[in-house]
Amino acid sequence: MRALRFLTCLPLLTAAIAAVAQTTHAPTVAAAPDPALDPTRVFSENCAACHQEDGKGIEGAFPALAGDKFVLAGPEQVIHVVLEGRGGMPTFKADLTDAQIAAAITHIRTSWGNSAAPVAPETVAAIRTGEAPKPDATKIISAH
């Protein structure tokens, strides 16, 4: 009900795949890191509005990530929350690639004094359930 249909696309997905393909074909040249996969940037663009650049969140509204046990424990639960959303946090399943989610989670596990292991895109891919939405899949969005 009350749904308007909007399109969503994943331009970054194509860019990320292209970037990966390029690096495998040119192993002798040091590949310039893909800015779309820079952990700090992915975090800033998608997460910092709520969790804040300093990872301290906002008390009573957005959980702190700095020093947070949940963030520092095994990455599976964190990956699950980013993929599926929880409470006020939206699902990023259709909007971020596995590589981007890995980058963002790597950022929160290795910044602000946090020192947990980085996360690989393959780990995200293994947890992502169901088919990833196609780049041109329609997404139903509630609009009021």
Partner 1 sequence: MGKTEMGMATGSLTRRYFLEKLGRMGGTAMLLAGMDALGFGIGSALAAPPKLEGKPKKNKVVVLGAGNAGLASAYELTQAGYDVTVIEARSFAGGRAQTARKGFSLTELGGTTQTCDFDEGLYINHGPWRIPYHHHTTLHYTRKFGVPLELFNNDNDASFLYFEKGKGPLAGKPVRKREAVADMLGYSSEILAKLSQQGALDSRMGAEDKEKFLEFLVEFGALSKKDLSYTGTPGRGFIVDPGAGTNPGPGTPSVPHKLDDLLDSGLWHMVHGISEWDQQRTMFQPVQGMEQIPKAIARHLPDGMIRFSTEVQRIRQSPKGVIVEVVRDGQPETIKADWCICTIPLSVLKTIDHGLSPAFAAAMAKCAYAPVGKIGLQMKRRFWEEDHSIYGGHVFCDNPDINNIALPSTGWQGQKGVLLGYYNFGPNAAKVSGKSPADRAAMAVDYGQKIFPAYKESYETSFSVAWHRVKYNLGGWGMWSDDARATAYPVLTEPDGRIYLAGEHMSYIGGWQAGAFESAWQQVERLHARAMKG
Query: Which residues sit at the interface with partner 1, rule CB under 8 A?
Result: 1-9, 11, 44-50, 52, 58, 60-62, 85-92, 94-96, 136, 138-139, 141-144
Q: Which ranges of 35-97 would DSSP assign to H, the alpha helix? A: 39-46, 48-51, 69-72, 75-84
Q: Which residue's CB is nearer to partner 1, number 52 or number 111?
A: 52
| Cβ-based nearer residue to partner 1, 14 or 117 | 14
Nearest approach, Cβ of residue 76 and partner 1 (Å): 20
CB of 87 to partner 1, least distance (A): 6
Q: Cα separations (Å) of 120 from 6, 56, 60, 104, 139?
A: 31, 24, 31, 11, 27
Please answer whether residues 96 and 46 qualify as being in contact, where contact means their C-beta atoms are separated by less than 8 angstroms: yes
Which CB atom, from 21 or from 86, has the smaller least distance to partner 1? 86
Q: Which distant-in-sequence residues (6+ apart) come within 8 Å of 3 by Cβ?
A: 140, 141, 142, 143
In angstroms, what is the minimal distance from the CB of 135 to partner 1?
8
